[in-house]
Structure 1
């Protein structure tokens, strides 16, 4: 696709010509979190109609949920900035609703968050496990046998097919999300797209840049997911990223009465020892329990930003006293569980999107080969035994619609990639590689967190805002 209006609109002209009807956001709420956020002042919501299947646009339509925070300085407005927070499966609507109204970009742009097809307020949405099934899954021991893991994966896929429908599952991938974004661009009245993507949102941005390079005005990609990543190497890089973040946390913790000790070299081992009893005896927390996997998930969540280190420290102190309240709250935050017991469905969408975005591995020989290679790359024995189990994508009832490949972005203007040195989830080198692949300018932030733009870091916000507003990039790659 060359990015021209004719190539983009063939057979789907009516979707490009639609007029959005903006109104109150409360009717778009799907869970406790969005219900609270969508009552805030100064936001508007709408639905974008798109084809369920772009190859057969006449067989049915679906809708994409939108939330807009109008520019504070309407007389000086540049246009609309489309935002995706990542995931896959994250809600752009709740992300924009939760943004500070006085953020520097919000003065000059209408900021528009969208829930990708199948996600959040978009209809229909991916649904696999019920809230009760998700709670029960968290309490089951993980990785005890490949057979057990495969049975759970089959159950999950069967529920996805039953509750979401095969038509949605076939068409929920990034390829089709990108087509939706181009329809959104036109519906917003923009000749060219201004886009901000975090984490998985960088994959959306990269594929958009490939499919519609001449439709791009400006693009900030923060926390890069590589388009052509070797899956084993990418897994190893991410595992190393979290391990390094944990080491930095352990060093910080060592300056206090740290439950995992004063020696950063043994901190991970002591943490494993602390949570080992939870495998056989999850810790009661009110009418719930903290499982071994929840404790692991809690610490992973805390590694996303050093602003959560204090919370993790408190959780470990509690665990030393046989209490699990704070760690359970951190795990809930990661898994999208609200206080009323409802889940955001981000975990369901995460799997569904990934299963149609990448070729599945369906044979155990490849799994075993990947496991051995992962052990070699990591240089330790922490790879779980269930790495030899077929994942949910091996049983997925729909074909994949994308293949990993180097992006071909001829005609793309120079864009901005932001990468953080201490980012565990999308390690720094991934940003370096993406910037090189796109011919982009690289902004390095020295910090301990996942993504950095519009997080109140003056240097990063200044560079990104100058670019988005005035299309002024630093003359060379730069560091904050």
Structure 2
């Protein structure tokens, strides 16, 4: 089966900084600011009640991160369905690190980390310390929001329980015979039925990127900003492109890092992503071969076969991984994908493969758990549930089994290290059985009076290939900043060339020179 990989943007590690004083609960009423669409006046003009962030945490890591001094949280109310603004409403979770120099404040910098399904609140909390003493922290409130259906936003998309997700991960779905395909598709139908029952059809129909972009304009006004300053990683670039097309005159600055090509078909996007992960795997293999001991051997040209020899047996015989758990073929593949997002995890991948050679799947399972946001108690964030829900209303649906089989063949050809050895599968994924219509469009954005924006693209990005950034910059008539490296996204991750150029743009509205390229410092 094809892997639909979550497009999670990387976030920077927190750097030590002076501890901020605890913030007191307070209510701000700054809106409405800027244009207000008819019928949405009460949303654009709503007050925000800021207070402690602890009650908003939905994962163990968030419970720790949200306790940091200097952070405050609130809820933003928006219509569930913008076609019926007087009807049912939902709320979005907000987390803010206020500006450190109010006199020089420019406005808010709204951040989305990707996914779809990743928490913007969590990202803002992780970035808060590292930006506090920078020009960004001095000039902007850093604001992360959990998009509708995600994390602390209410109601949240919910499909599977923890034990159900564990069971799904153990089933590698490698049997591509007619009987195997029928079984896989029935499992997908059952999964969709649980999403429908536990989330509700109306919510599922209104979680797409189109709605998130409209939510972000409500947020802009409620924060008191006439113009939006936005930082979107990975899938967050799609939100940015949608916002730019819908509200071009409401943009001040926009940084899109790790771009998705909005004009690319679902199948072409997946195949391009597979090729990106294969390139990253090749880079990993070359790095690993230079080590004293490498689980894949000393010849990078044999690394794909070595990886297949280690992982393919897991299809029929999962490896013990401790605590009565097992490593499936699916999880071993996801563990590799997780590690290929950033070279900082390559050593973990090599160690995990070496362990697997000895019969243990513990380290690789931990990498897969990290990808799925599973905690030590067996509970998951709702990232995977929201990922499916958004994709199934955003993307073209592939319903012809023959096209599915050909897509799987192309994917395996592009990423041979992820080939299970079984024939390509005709099993349709859950989106083919999704109970609500598609609301997204696979077309390049058509923008009007949009100010210059900045697109950052990494030459060796495995999840969002470099050319997607080139095409998005052209479509939005923006400036392209190129980073030469192998990782997924780069801004605020310690590359001074990228950080300095992007910060100058956000603060001073000065774009980097045409054709500017950066390398790791």
- TM surpasses 0.5: yes
* Cα distance, 1:40–1:376 mapped onto 2, change above 3 Å: closer
Shift of 1:231: 2.4
Q: How does 1:13-412 map to 2 (within 5 A)?
A: 13-103=41-131, 104=134, 105-144=136-175, 145-256=180-291, 257-287=293-323, 288-371=325-408, 382=419, 385=423, 387-412=425-450
Shift of 1:378: 7.0
Shift of 1:387: 4.0
Query: SS at the partner of 1:338?
Result: coil
* Cα distance, 1:247–1:369 mapped onto 2, change above 3 Å: closer
CA distance in 2, matches of 1:139, 1:439: 45
Query: SS at the partner of 2:455?
Result: strand
Asked if the contact 1:32/1:342 (under 8 Å) is kept, the reply is no
Shift of 1:56: 0.6
Shift of 1:385: 4.5
Q: How many residues align?
A: 476
Which residue of 2 is the match for residue 470 of structure 1?
Answer: 508
CA distance in 2, matches of 1:55, 1:385: 45
Query: SS at the partner of 2:108?
Result: strand
CA distance in 2, matches of 1:259, 1:188: 51
CA distance in 2, matches of 1:361, 1:248: 32
Which residue of 1 is the match for residue 26 of structure 2?
Answer: none
CA distance in 1, matches of 2:116, 2:71: 24
CA distance in 1, matches of 2:137, 2:347: 30
Provide Cα deviations, 1:129-155, integer angstroms capped at 9, x if missing partner: 100000111111323132222111111
CA distance in 2, matches of 1:36, 1:203: 30
CA distance in 1, matches of 2:210, 2:270: 23
Q: Which moved more, 1:377-386 or 1:112-121?
A: 377-386
* Cα distance, 1:379–1:65 mapped onto 2, change above 3 Å: closer
Shift of 1:369: 4.8
Asked if the contact 2:307/2:417 (under 8 Å) is kept, the reply is no
Structure 2: segments with no counterpart, 5+ residues? 1-32
Structure 1: segments with no counterpart, 5+ residues? none
Query: SS at the partner of 1:205?
Result: helix
CA distance in 2, matches of 1:378, 1:321: 25
* Cα distance, 1:270–1:381 mapped onto 2, change above 3 Å: closer
CA distance in 1, matches of 2:378, 2:410: 39
Q: Which moved more, 1:174-183 or 1:95-104?
A: 95-104
Provide Cα deviations, 1:300-335, integer angstroms capped at 9, x if missing partner: 100000111111111122222222221111101111
Asked if the contact 2:320/2:362 (under 8 Å) is kept, the reply is no
Shift of 1:241: 0.7
Query: SS at the partner of 1:99?
Result: helix
Which residue of 2 is the match for residue 419 of structure 1?
Answer: 457
* Cα distance, 1:380–1:19 mapped onto 2, change above 3 Å: closer
Which residue of 2 is the match for residue 459 of structure 1?
Answer: 497
Shift of 1:367: 2.6
Query: SS at the partner of 2:310?
Result: helix
The correspondence for 1:448, drawn from 486, 501, 504, is: 486
Query: SS at the partner of 1:452?
Result: coil
Shift of 1:106: 2.0
Q: What's the RMSD between the two structures over aligned residues?
A: 1.8
Shift of 1:123: 0.1
CA distance in 2, matches of 1:379, 1:29: 39
State the TM-score, normalized to the length of structure 2. 0.88
* Cα distance, 1:127–1:380 mapped onto 2, change above 3 Å: closer
Provide Cα deviations, 1:398-418, integer angstroms capped at 9, x if missing partner: 111111111101100110000
State the TM-score, normalized to the length of structure 1. 0.96
Q: Which moved more, 1:234-243 or 1:61-70?
A: 234-243
Shift of 1:196: 0.1
Shift of 1:74: 2.3
Q: Which moved more, 1:391-400 or 1:138-147?
A: 138-147
CA distance in 1, matches of 2:415, 2:118: 29
* Cα distance, 1:42–1:422 mapped onto 2, change above 3 Å: same
Asked if the contact 1:228/1:406 (under 8 Å) is kept, the reply is yes
CA distance in 2, matches of 1:194, 1:477: 23
Which residue of 1 is the match for residue 11 of structure 2?
Answer: none
Asked if the contact 2:278/2:415 (under 8 Å) is kept, the reply is no
Asked if the contact 1:143/1:386 (under 8 Å) is kept, the reply is no
